[in-house]
Amino acid sequence: NRVSQSVPHMHIHLVPRHKKDGLKGFFWPRQRYKDEAALLQIQETLRSAVNRIRSR
Q: Is 20 helix (H, G, I), strand (E, B) or coil?
A: coil
Summarised one tens digit per residue, pLDDT across range 13-44 is 777 777 777 776 656 666 788 999 999 999 99
Residue 26 domain-assigned? yes
Q: Is residue 3 part of a domain?
A: no
What is the pLDDT at residue 22? 74
How far is the C-alpha of 44 from the C-alpha of 49, rounded, in Å? 8
> How many domains, the chain?
1
Q: Is 41 inside any structural domain?
A: yes
Give domain status of residue 27, yes or no.
yes
Domain carrying residue 25:
9-56
